[in-house]
Amino acid sequence: MFFQIVAATPDVASYYGNSPSFGGAPFDVGMGRRDRGQQAPFDGRFNSDSETGGHNLTLEYRMSDAMSLKSISSYRSFEQDTICSLSGNGVMRGVVLDPVTFAPSIEDLYGPYSCRNAPQRQFQYSEELQLLGSTGQWSYVLGAFYFFERSAEFNHQRFTFVLPGGQVALNLAPPSIFGGETESIAGFGQASYRPPSFDGKLELTGGLRYTQDDKKFFNDAFPDDPGSKSFSNTSWLASANYEFTSDVMAFARVSTGYKAGGFSPRSPFLSSFKPEKATAYELGMKAEWFRRRLRTNLSLFQTDYKDLQVQQFQSGTGGSVGYTVNAAEATFRGVELELVAVLADGLTLDAAYGYTDPKYDRYLFRDPQTDLISDVSDEARFSAVAKYNLHVGAEYVFKPFNAGQVSARFDWSRQGERYFYPLDYINIFNEQVKDPGSENLRARLALSELPLGDHGTWEVALWGDNLTNHDNVGYGIDFGGLGFGGLFFTEPRRYGVDFRLRF
């Protein structure tokens, strides 16, 4: 779906509102999904092109009945030439100042914001070797991992910067050129043991992983100051599973993890951030009841973060600017519940509920106006985190007949609200561009297992998505430094037919 402007400052609304009087397109701004929108071309183009490729190869050699060696190789590449028009408006016109002489003229406007990302290139490859084995009460895996990635982007930005008063503006086109490399090497091992004294019902597991990450970065805004950093970490895992009966198993797990540090690619200066570290605790139970007609999975969890990496986005005369910062400490607590019930022959009901309660224990913020550092943990939000997710589904599979099999499925899901930026006084339209919560009702009616020759089958299915036509928000962007903010909505109600062949 297209980008829609939902909020604007008074100066920006006044300036673009004058566009029709200069022969330009009207300024479309307002909350709610629009069924139709406009788009301004970029050098006469509207379309975007992309090419993605990838290959995977998994090889396994059984050295004996108790030991095997596995190799997992993969390669991915991506290239894109993208046109973006983040306004939902056509070609607007207004009074523009020459950036050198400041002479006014009436011109087509660049904005509010448009760009051409060309070229965008990325490729990566990885190799993982695993030695898997078992002996007596022991089972184990030893492995090594290698990963390499290189990426680069040339972002041709164009936008209109409205000056105070809302009468004149500047058409600006600062380029944003950056890229980098990542190389990661890791070694890991994990072993599980079932003590004979517990008749194989208890399983104890421990694991270690050492990782070395090397990051390189460049940005044409500061070509003499490329970035290069190395990070390393040793993480561990300890868990215990106990099978009370053949149908009931409980587990406890403690593990640590880390996300490497790096550089903020869209920053106008060299900006680095530290690794993020986490310690996760989990208690759970998996069980089957009533002769396996009901399955339940319950999990309670808590994750403690240190140097949590938080994405921040700003805009201004340099265009769009993104930073990654370390927001000190945070704690996530929550619960997850899954149910699958066979209510009758052919009729299955499934449901899932997840609740997360995240809190910043400390969030140090440097005020760009005063340069003072303060703890804003009481007011900072978690980006793109919904407190709850709920899903309910039902499927009925009819008894097969000579021509095939009919099945019908319904799914309904709901998700809580999501904010996309942590601090309201950095992103002034944070409230307007949030996701207030989404819901989706889907249905699918399929006729499958239809014979196709001697060795194949085919399937035809009718489906509907977002049947209640709910206005679900995909993402919001706050261009507060340019005076506006907008939303992408996901697809409205839609229908379709699928055909599938199997040989």
SS (H, E, C) 75-131: EEEEEEEEEEECCCCCCCEEEEECCCCCCEEEEECCCCEEEEEEEEEEEEEEEEEEE
138 pLDDT more than 80? yes
DSSP state of 35: S
Provide mean pLDDT across the span 434-453.
93
pLDDT at residue 181, as a whole number = 96
Report residue 381 as tokens.
């939000």
| Predicted confidence (pLDDT) per residue in 290-312, tens digit | 999 999 999 999 999 999 999 88
The least confident of 284-293, 359-368, 372-381 is 359-368
Pairing of strands 473-479, 67-85: unpaired
Count of residues in the chain: 503
Q: Under a CB-based contact definition with an 8 Å cutoff, are residues 374 and 365 in contact?
A: yes
The pTM score is 0.90
Give the integer Cα–Cα distance in Å for 1 and 487.
Answer: 10
The span from the CA of 281 to the CA of 448, in Å, is 43
Tens of pLDDT along 21-62?
A: 999 999 999 888 888 778 888 988 888 999 999 999 999 999
Residues 469-473: what's their mean pLDDT?
95
Q: Which of 305, 286, 282 is nearest to 296 (CA)?
A: 286
Tell me the one-letter amino acid at 325. Answer: V
- Look at residue 107 and tell me whether its pLDDT is greater than 80: yes
DSSP H or E run through 311: strand 309-316
SS3 241: strand
What's the number of CA atoms in the CB half-sphere (13 Å) around residue 494?
6
- Residue 112 pLDDT greater than 80, yes or no: yes
- Identify the pLDDT of residue 31: 85
Q: How do residues 308-354 score in pLDDT, each as one tens digit?
A: 999 888 898 888 888 888 988 999 999 999 999 999 999 999 999 99
Average pLDDT, whole number, for the chain?
A: 93
Both tokens of 498, joined, read 């699928």
pLDDT of residue 303: 98
352 vs 449, residue with greater confidence: 352
* Band of pLDDT at residue 1, cut at 50, 70 and 90: low
Contact 5/90 with Cβ under 8 angstroms? no
CA distance 159 to 177: 17
Q: What percent of the chain has pLDDT over 70?
A: 100
Confidence of residue 419 (pLDDT cuts 50, 70, 90): very high
pLDDT at 401 > cutoff 90: no
Burial of residue 297 (CB within 10 Å: 0-12, 13-18, 19+) is middle
Among candidates 210, 211, 149, 144, which has minimal Cα distance to 182? 149
Over residues 154-174, the mean pLDDT reads: 95
Residue 294, beta-bridge partner list: 289, 341
pLDDT at position 411 is 98
